[in-house]
Structure 1
Amino acid sequence: MTPHDAPRSGASRPPWVLRTANTVYAVTLSPDEGWAELAAWGPHGAEQGPSPLDWSRRTHFITPADAAPAEYIPYGPRPFTGADLVAQRPGEERGVWWRFTGATADGEHTLRLVFTDETLGLTTALCYETVPGTDVILRWTELTCTGDAEVRLERFDSAAVNIPVTDTARLTCLTGQWSQEFTRTQLELTRGRFELASTQAVPGHAYAPWLAVQDAAEPAEGATPTYGIALEWSGSWRISADAEPGGAVRVRAGRLPHESAVRLAPGATLTTPRLACAFSPDGLEGLARVWHRYERRLSGERLHRSRPVLYNSWEATGFDVEAGGQLALARAAAGIGAELFVVDDGWFTGRRDDTGGLGDWYPDPAKFPGGFDRFISQVRELGLDFGLWVEPEAVSPGSALHAEHPEWVYRVEGRPVTLVRNQLLLDLGRTDVQDFVIATLDRLLGTYAIRYLKWDMNRPPTERGRPGGGPVESQDLDAAHVAGYLRVLDHLRSAHPHVTVEGCAGGGGRIDHATLARTDVVWPSDNTAPLDRLTIQYGYLHAHAPHTMSSWVTDAPGVFDPRPRSLAFRFVSSMCGVLGIGADILKWTDEQRAEAAHWVARYKEIRDVVHHGEIRLLNSPADPTCGVQYDEDAQGAGARTVVTAWNTGPLDGAPLVPGRPARLRLRGLDPAARYRDQASGTVYGGGYLLHSGLPFHWSADHDAELVVLTRVGPGGPPAGVS
């Protein structure tokens, strides 16, 4: 990290400069060194000049700290416009009045700024780290109690980011509810505060812990500077955006403790969740590509593990699991090219419906009379790997586990408990509960040839108490549950590295970077209806990478958009991520199974491009024709571009202008190159695909298409000539 030679006007010292592959993030101190400020964030070179966030230092009715583009600032010097840290000694007034006590840096990649309040006995370290190969900067805060009395932390955000706008900010967030997750939502904020949050001990279905900010004076797509944040936290959280006087937006993000405050004992350190901060000069789609590169890095070596085409039996059989019926489904799944067979809920003792069995994780001998091991062997003899559904945090009130350990569930002493889906939730913050879950999973994975584990969670905690656990504010139940959850996932990865792990929480209720770093795929929604799912996936891909997105082909009818769509539509939609099948394929006709086998084979040919390529979102599901473009990393002749496209308009496929095909203009191609359609042999010029677009001839029985274009070199014949 190098101080820049020309700091902004008024700064007392040159800024510290962090650099990523394509961006720069510069931090300086206020003139009195009372807090850290953002000097620049954007493309390389953005630090060479006065900061766009510089302020006159003349304030009226607010303090200089309230007007400053502070990186992190406590209540005390900043009493009016929103503090990131609110702390006090029990029984004393709130407030932190710190002083800058040092900085350490490692080149242009890490930074640590330390501030100390000796009277309160609290040291605060602001931490920064660049992520190699990406345009993401991680930020977090470390709070250490240095006095002889505990400190009560009422608010302790991870970080704040400051974004310049001319007048009004455009905020893009992902909202929804169960079965309607990841709906891309936009609003404009000229003045005031906008806040998203979850108090459900998981990120939740209603809002994702993700936000993008742009200047509303510019378009959402194209060459528009776009800033984004995502909180790495699997528990309760909040993100707030304040449109402040003078044309700036300040975004704060952090965890939200269940107890409203956390007590920090003498000598203890609290480390906040990491906040990933990303920038792209290329609009929301460019920002999506930044997030995708970051999540590919989170996957590490497991990124290169082929994610199998799975068949899941839930929608075919529900709780009515028995060996003969499951094997019949497995044979049909193998026949259409599936590589993995997953038995969902209903395989264990006491599980005839959703009222019993959770916690007693033993195969039901009545459902597998020949033995569970023999059943798995029969599945594997079909050429399929085997997977299993579990819900390790849940317990049924009538289970043997609950009878033996009633103290393991969340509850408030002397108060009734609330059943959600007829079940209770284990207090995974307890070490003995974690040990039980680890031992259970070790037993299952060590006894049986299981290569895939779907971890589900179908209820949030309600009466969230731990009787006998000490003072409420010393428990920090939300953080304890997250730590237990991550401990179990970390154990799975180290002890059972061959097992692919899918994360699920009643659909997309627990999807964040902490989960994505420890699982291989996640389940974005329980809604698999074709047009509904297309909208969910469109929003999901703005924030998350396609190699993490599990998507099934089912026969589910529409929930929010009931218009029917073809089997091809469902397959092409599911091929946008990690393909799965969940329909009752025994009810499919021979023609449907043959068509399914065709799509599965095509998917296997292009899944490496889908999972590792650069993505472009072509229109949206609100348009009559939309698509997703994936470009292979390879350059030059032979590089592939995969386009998945759908007719989302009239059911008869009628084009907007009679007789003309629908078109999708591709992006990012070389205009001087030629591209051959692998199916038709048609050769297009790159300039033609960029300007005129790829044509699609929709009809009543043709509402989706997969196009694979191979680059064949520069120049050549005009479009349409083979």
Structure 2
Amino acid sequence: MERENALTSAVGTTEPSRVWSHPTLGLHALVDTAGAVRLGGPGQDRDRLVPLVEVTATGHGRMWSGERFIETAIGDRLTYRDHETVREGGRERTTIRLADPMTGLLAEVTLEASAGAGFLRSRVRLVNEGVEPVRLESVTTLTLGGISSADAGLDDLVLHWADNDWLAECRWRQTPFRDQVVPLSRSAHGHEGRGCFERCSQGSWSTGRHLPMGALTDRDGGAWLWQIESSAGWRFETGEREGAAYVALFGPDDAHHQWHQTLAPGEEFHTVPAVLVRTESGGLDGAFATLTDYRRSIRRDHSDHRRLPVIYNDYMNTLMGDPTTERLLPLVEAAASAGAEVFVIDAGWYDDDAQGWWDSVGAWEPAPDRFPGGIEEVLDAIRKHGMTPGLWLEPEVVGVRSPLAHTLPPEAFFRRGGVRVTEHGRHHLDLRHPAARAHLDDVVDRLVGEWGVGYLKLDYNINIGPGTERGTESAGAGLLGHHRAHLDWMATLLDRHPQLVLENCGSGGLRMDYAQLAVAQIQSTSDQQDPLRYPPIAASAATAAAPEQAAVWAYPQPDQNLDEIAFTLTGALLGRIHLSGFLNRMDDERFGLVRSALSVYQDIRAEIGAAHPFWPLGLPGWDDEWIAHGLRGVRSTYVTVWRRESDGDGPGSVDRALAVPHLRGARVEPVVLYPSTADAGVEWDAAEGRLTVSLPRAGTAVLVRLGGS
């Protein structure tokens, strides 16, 4: 381990001093003559940049009032104290310390990067070294100014963000930056604008409105891409400052999340992490490739990321929360015969309540009427067929009719204004309370340790609102505290049961963030039940999760034709397969089509965990007729292509040309891996780096391999 220290102040010099740099990103942290530290590219004018940390606190607001949370009084006062750099194992971690003489706040900004990698991870620790309490209202994790196109300034920038909703996840949007941040003739007014472009979360579904991500790109292929790692509140903003764009990344704040936190003298607060990716070329595809590598580097190591077993789940378009021994055993046999390696009994296995299970959950005991011979009979059958048994669990909730609602102490639940919070017939556990955590530890140790369950689908189906108030803490601070305890609880489960696989699900993809996915192995991408609506979600899922963590439903049915069966199966082959459907009722031809899809997946899955995603037609629109998603592997490139019904009055085109620029000039042979029933045609133009795919019928999809990348 190599360590560098800088304990002398840079204040007083006649020129800005550089205390940190990242050559790959082209970024420098500079101390100006007043002692302020700002982050930006080389040669940037000081006024175009923003302070390294921006803080609003009660009594210490902003210097220019508006919708922005930059240009804060504390941020302007924070001055350089010292910095330290530690290098270990190819990683470099620099901590820059800043101090505010008025409040006594110390800000420690930790910037982490890897040699040659195009990403920067940031966190901030605030410590009150003063003599009076400080009531925080917002803190940036990372701020950056001076972003512009070399040729056209801001007129050339394109802004990207992702809307996210139940059944409609990962819907990326783009617009010229100037459509959202219009020029205001600053020279005529002497001030910047008061507004900005912002996106934020609301309540406890971290991705219930948007993904915690955004990007700026230019016409030359340059891209700035960011990700905030929070299961509680988050927000980003971008706008104009002195003719350049800035980006500010936040966890929860008071205005959007009812978050404030008072630091008494000696107390501290840690922000959520965030990462910034920069590419000079390759656009969003190049930036997402770098982000995928980063995501792989921060998550907990687990064998599941390398094995990628096929998962059968009985829920989607199949048992739909109504499992019994009689219904499950034929599905177990059929799933194993098809090639599944994990079998998950989803919701309803605990339900013997005449009024329904939704508002009675919490004890997580098997329902005797559903399993006359005990649930162990089904779990044993799963194991005898060579599969790992899994169960659905919604650990953070207790139904209002559950006995647990009365036996656990009141402090173990979310409360606001002294009243226990109820949402959609459920209460919410606060995992900072030892009774709540002990209850869930007992449940999991019974399911895993006694029953031999090796896979838990952890669902989360309510938005509990801004959070919980414990004593004088704010609701937003309570939510952040609970989620940090929740992440710690998941980590301790894996410490005790290292082979256990945890799936993160929030009504599909409504809590799809890398606070969760740094711990959980798999992410449910959607609850979408319409196979024709799933392609834009499946194609964009790799923007939100590494491909080997992004689970896509494939639910073939015995009454579907061969095109329909192949269509739903093809969409899952470049991620993680969540297989469902009444496989036991299929004829041999349909079942063979299922089995061949899983065989193809098992042949190629070894490459998925190191591959990089790309989009030959760009990120898809919700109603696009043609959609394409690719993975650039070490040995081969794979492309999935869907053709849906045309939105026009006439029939759509049967051919589509796809850009595969990283293979331009390569002599590769395009091969249709799946299905053999789509009558697909493929043609490769090496000079142009173009793959042309023909699909003569709408409602078909195909997986193509381009050998040798």
TM-score by length of 1: 0.83
Report the equivalent of 1:691: 688
Query: Which deviates further from its counterpart, 699-708 or 157-166?
Result: 699-708
Letter in 2 for 1:164: I
How far did 1:210 drift?
0.7
Report the equivalent of 1:227: 224
How far did 1:504 drift?
0.6
Deviations 1:426-464 (A, max 9, x none): 222323312322222122111111111110000021484
Report the equivalent of 1:509: 510
- The answer as to whether partners of 2:30 and 2:37 remain within 8 angstroms in 1 is yes
Report the equivalent of 1:150: 133
CA RMSD of superposed structures (Å): 3.3
How far did 1:527 drift?
0.9
- The answer as to whether partners of 1:348 and 1:362 remain within 8 angstroms in 2 is yes
Question: 2:433 matched to 1:430?
Answer: yes
3-state secondary structure, aligned to 2:210: coil
How far did 1:542 drift?
2.7
Residues 212 and 595 of structure 1: CA distance in aligned 2, closer, same or farther (over 3 Å): same
3-state secondary structure, aligned to 2:592: helix
Equivalence map 1:391-430=2 (5 Å)? 391-405=394-408, 407=410, 408-412=412-416, 417-420=421-424, 422-430=425-433
Report the equivalent of 2:371: 368
CA distance in 1: counterparts of 2:401 and 2:699, whole angstroms: 51
Equivalence map 1:86-105=2 (5 Å)? 97-105=77-85
Letter in 2 for 1:25: L
Question: 2:17 matched to 1:14?
Answer: yes
Report the equivalent of 2:637: 641
Report the equivalent of 1:61: none
CA distance in 2: counterparts of 1:510 and 1:261, whole angstroms: 22
Equivalence map 1:247-396=2 (5 Å)? 247-256=244-253, 258-281=257-280, 282-299=282-299, 301-302=301-302, 304-315=305-316, 316-350=318-352, 353-396=356-399
How far did 1:204 drift?
2.6
Letter in 1 for 2:106: T
How far did 1:701 drift?
7.3
3-state secondary structure, aligned to 1:157: strand
Report the equivalent of 1:122: 105
Report the equivalent of 2:187: none
Query: Which deviates further from its counterpart, 494-503 or 532-541?
Result: 532-541
CA distance in 2: counterparts of 1:446 and 1:424, whole angstroms: 27
- The answer as to whether partners of 2:164 and 2:207 remain within 8 angstroms in 1 is no
Report the equivalent of 1:669: 663
Equivalence map 1:51-130=2 (5 Å)? 51=44, 54-55=45-46, 68-74=49-55, 79-80=63-64, 82-84=68-70, 97-106=77-86, 109-130=92-113
- The answer as to whether partners of 2:669 and 2:684 remain within 8 angstroms in 1 is no
Residues 96 and 27 of structure 1: CA distance in aligned 2, closer, same or farther (over 3 Å): closer
CA distance in 1: counterparts of 2:630 and 2:686, whole angstroms: 12
Report the equivalent of 2:572: 574
Letter in 1 for 2:203: Q
Deviations 1:531-589 (A, max 9, x none): 32211233332343211100111269xxxxxxx97221111111121012122334444
Letter in 1 for 2:63: P
Letter in 2 for 1:342: V
Deviations 1:597-639 (A, max 9, x none): 1111111111222332122211154554332222222xxxxx2
Letter in 1 for 2:236: I
Deviations 1:25-82 (A, max 9, x none): 211012211x211231xxxxxx4xx23xx15x6xxxxxxxxx6433224456961174
Given the alignment, which residue of 246, 256, 263 partners 2:243? Answer: 246
Letter in 2 for 1:243: E
Letter in 2 for 1:251: A
Query: Which deviates further from its counterpart, 298-307 or 265-274?
Result: 298-307
Report the equivalent of 2:191: none
TM-score by length of 2: 0.85
- The answer as to whether partners of 1:85 and 1:155 remain within 8 angstroms in 2 is no
**How many residue pairs were aligned?**
655
3-state secondary structure, aligned to 1:377: helix
CA distance in 1: counterparts of 2:29 and 2:253, whole angstroms: 27
CA distance in 1: counterparts of 2:118 and 2:572, whole angstroms: 29
How far did 1:101 drift?
1.6
Residues 580 and 132 of structure 1: CA distance in aligned 2, closer, same or farther (over 3 Å): farther
Residues 665 and 16 of structure 1: CA distance in aligned 2, closer, same or farther (over 3 Å): same
How far did 1:144 drift?
0.4
Residues 313 and 656 of structure 1: CA distance in aligned 2, closer, same or farther (over 3 Å): closer
Report the equivalent of 2:551: 550
3-state secondary structure, aligned to 2:302: helix
3-state secondary structure, aligned to 2:697: coil
Letter in 1 for 2:639: V
How far did 1:415 drift?
5.3
- The answer as to whether partners of 2:315 and 2:346 remain within 8 angstroms in 1 is yes
Residues 234 and 565 of structure 1: CA distance in aligned 2, closer, same or farther (over 3 Å): farther
Residues 365 and 305 of structure 1: CA distance in aligned 2, closer, same or farther (over 3 Å): farther
CA distance in 2: counterparts of 1:701 and 1:590, whole angstroms: 25
How far did 1:180 drift?
0.8
Deviations 1:103-146 (A, max 9, x none): 22236922222122344222111221114574221111110011
- The answer as to whether partners of 2:454 and 2:500 remain within 8 angstroms in 1 is yes
Letter in 1 for 2:169: E
Question: 2:29 matched to 1:27?
Answer: yes
CA distance in 1: counterparts of 2:475 and 2:574, whole angstroms: 45
Residues 438 and 414 of structure 1: CA distance in aligned 2, closer, same or farther (over 3 Å): closer
3-state secondary structure, aligned to 1:376: helix
CA distance in 2: counterparts of 1:452 and 1:653, whole angstroms: 47
How far did 1:279 drift?
0.8
Deviations 1:276-332 (A, max 9, x none): 111112111111111111122234532643121111111322232211211111111
CA distance in 1: counterparts of 2:312 and 2:14, whole angstroms: 60
Residues 135 and 531 of structure 1: CA distance in aligned 2, closer, same or farther (over 3 Å): farther
CA distance in 1: counterparts of 2:274 and 2:159, whole angstroms: 18
3-state secondary structure, aligned to 2:515: helix
Report the equivalent of 1:62: none
Equivalence map 1:458-537=2 (5 Å)? 458-462=461-465, 464-466=467-469, 469-473=470-474, 476-537=477-538
3-state secondary structure, aligned to 1:176: strand
Among all aligned residue pairs of Structure 1 and Structure 2, give the percentage whose two residues are the same amino acid: 23
3-state secondary structure, aligned to 2:131: coil
CA distance in 2: counterparts of 1:493 and 1:84, whole angstroms: 40
How far did 1:388 drift?
0.6
Letter in 2 for 1:667: P
3-state secondary structure, aligned to 1:453: strand
3-state secondary structure, aligned to 1:208: strand
Report the equivalent of 1:175: 163
CA distance in 2: counterparts of 1:371 and 1:328, whole angstroms: 17
- The answer as to whether partners of 1:503 and 1:519 remain within 8 angstroms in 2 is yes
Letter in 1 for 2:703: L
Report the equivalent of 1:626: 627
CA distance in 1: counterparts of 2:302 and 2:234, whole angstroms: 28
Higher RCO (C-alpha under 8 Å, 6+ residues apart): 2
How far did 1:498 drift?
0.4
> What are structure 2's unaligned runs of at least 5 residues?
182-194
- The answer as to whether partners of 1:203 and 1:233 remain within 8 angstroms in 2 is yes
3-state secondary structure, aligned to 1:111: strand
Residues 210 and 302 of structure 1: CA distance in aligned 2, closer, same or farther (over 3 Å): same
CA distance in 2: counterparts of 1:313 and 1:386, whole angstroms: 12
